[in-house]
Amino acid sequence: MGETVIGVTAGAPPPGVMRLHEPIAACYLPASYINAIRQAGARPVILPPSHMARECDRALGELADPLWVLERVDGILLSGGPDPDPWWFGEEPRPGQGRIDPERDAWEIVLARAALEAGMPVLGICRGVQVMAVAAGGALYQDISEGFPAALKHMQEAPRWFPSHGVEVAQGTKLASVIGAGACRVNSFHHQAIRDPGQGFVVSARAPDGVIEAIESRNQPFALGVQWHPEAMCKRDSRARALFASLVEAARGWRGRGRYA
């Protein structure tokens, strides 16, 4: 049996990360994702957007070839990043909408749809869970304040590894089988939230203010996402490690089940 390969999506770096004399186009992925996949026993490969640093209209996503990727990886991790463009869920941008990466949106949404259709194991993290929902026909609050005027602080200023707010994991869900049902604490670096988890998806965890913190597919063996950042918690949190282990285990089971034409 060969290595289990997890494709990890990436995109343009956030402003201020690359302090160069001249700004250059770049592809960016925090090393914490790579370390978390390796620690779980798989080989990570970075999946850049297919049309980086070119003029991109949304239709270009249709030209991307997700099947090329699906033939070569055993599972996909949709990583964190900027806000998905609300165009993808049929809305105009409102003032609460943040930075967007159009090339990454087009690529990830087309890739996520293909992976979900194929039943390939997918884990979504932060932006990744939002992309998963949008790919499944769901929708987001462009800013948490739109849906939850009395929301908790979801953009923590505590260290990245620190679990700053509670979530309640729903009984009987896939997520509960991985990290346990009931109360748990997570870190939080998001200002958007899922409004509609999409077709075939159910909510598997919520924060005490009602904000959706995790979703999962009812139909796929392993398609789940969390709004927090387990890759930043792995050193101290066994539940964070369990999430990556569950993706790798699902991907290992998927391998050999057949590839795509």
Question: Which position's Cβ is nearest Mn ion?
Answer: 188
Considering only 10-18, 51-59, 185-193, 197-205, which stretch makes contact with Mn ion by CB under 5 A? 185-193
Told to check if 104 binds Mn ion by CB under 5 A, we report no
Told to check if 154 binds Mn ion by CB under 5 A, we report yes
- The CB-of-187 to Mn ion minimum distance in angstroms stands at 8
First to last CA, the chain: 22
Residues 12-31 that bind Mn ion (CB under 5 A): none
Residue of 79, 97, 188, 204 that binds Mn ion (CB under 5 A): 188
- The CB-of-154 to Mn ion minimum distance in angstroms stands at 4
d(CA 217, CA 175): 11
Residues marked as catalytic: 126, 229, 231
What beta strand segments (E) does 66-192 contain?
75-78, 122-125, 139-141, 165-169, 182-186
- The CB-of-196 to Mn ion minimum distance in angstroms stands at 18
- b (16+ CB within 10 A) / e for 175-189: bbebbebeebebbbb
d(CA 70, CA 115): 7
- The CB-of-194 to Mn ion minimum distance in angstroms stands at 11
Q: What is the contact mask toward Mn ion in residues 195 to 224, using x (rule: CB under 5 A)?
A: ------------------------------
Residues 6 or more apart whose Cβ sits within 8 Å of residue 214: 129, 167, 169, 175, 203, 204, 205, 224, 225, 226, 227
Considering only 17-25, 70-78, 102-110, 183-191, which stretch makes contact with Mn ion by CB under 5 A? 183-191
Considering only 12-20, 52-60, 137-145, 151-159, which stretch makes contact with Mn ion by CB under 5 A? 151-159
Q: Is 234 in contact with 36 (CB distance < 8 Å)?
A: yes
- DSSP state, 95? T
β-pairing, 212-217 vs 182-186, is: unpaired
The footprint of Mn ion (CB under 5 A) covers: 154, 188
